[in-house]
Structure 1
């Protein structure tokens, strides 16, 4: 069964240090998308960017090698990859001899694409600060508003509203108050979110209350971002919309889902909390 409760999450685990592609645990996207009314024809484009900071292997002479890795899983893929299984899989290379980084990248691309059901982009980079520069997310910060909040879950899309009588605006909004929980273990997932849109002005206070209403919500990163995108489109009807969440890492991995009403290739702007 490829459901979260059958994944390695929340279970005692033996951390293998030899390569094993079967450790990857894919979870179908379709079930959670059905909850928010998303069918086979997706209302968005996008990708899930994973950054790995704990990737190591042995070269042909037995000397350990390390690299930073970026993985891009298309939103059009049929499955997400459960994060603990991803970590276990990557850890399996620790005592594995690999000819070179090109061979490693090809193995990663093959296995991850098979699990996700679509071609996964793989980039390996040397360990140096320039690989993932630290930047601020562009946009107006919502978090300084003087608002009272008393609801922390489940998400309340009714908080979202836009002034359809006003002139359309191009606006980018940012919040660092996004928090949700793993649906299996209940562990908190902390993130920052950037929302860029063109359309009727979205009420800032309502948007902040909506984002905070994820605080006790149980859902994977990718599913939260798709829920935010769909709720904004339905409630505020922007002409153009992008939602990009940058989550803090756990187990050497961070997950950064991006969804857009138009085809777009997001950058990978690691922020200070990552």
Structure 2
């Protein structure tokens, strides 16, 4: 069956390794690609492996579907030659472990980190971002690390590799899909998220089953690298899709939890 509005990701080839962006444990890097654009490259050989790339891809494209600002996400091919000339042994090992298909986000030159003390966010946008992060279980949007940028006076979302953390925890996907998201209590935008019910109603219409399936279909086969799992890539894709569709169908659980957490904070 054909899927309407099938999302597509471009594929670029990394031509120049710029510099590491030493943030967290994943060591992303600023690179140049064969289209002459700069990208923030997320490595398949980093600590959380390809599961972090899967989370980045799924959460980012869901956010784009919901109308939130996300830098363009592309597949990025890394050639074996890059690991041979890098003098830093840690980075050299990372480059060698990341040969092949990685993920990258368009570099927003001149962007500055979002600061909730300085930058204003209206209730609607705050509610949209809180809803997204509760839905995809993104643990990494706190005051300590907002993972948001201000670029041309607009707010952009970045770094979703810590979302969908349940894919690291084992086979309890069905139970996890219906759980509230306890970590939402630490969300940097929670105090301003006063329109969660309205956003929930709108987003449930936008995020159709067809759209979820289309996003999941983007995951490359060779990103399913867990050798302890016998299922095929198609079967594993359907686990992700079922998790998201079940979670969406029971969204009142995580919405109510977010509202309760907000009331406790304010």
Q: Which bracket does the TM-score occupy, shorter chain normalised?
A: under 0.3
Specify which structure has the higher proportion of strand: 1
Specify which structure has the higher proportion of helix: 2
Compare CA radii of gyration and give the structure with the larger one: 1
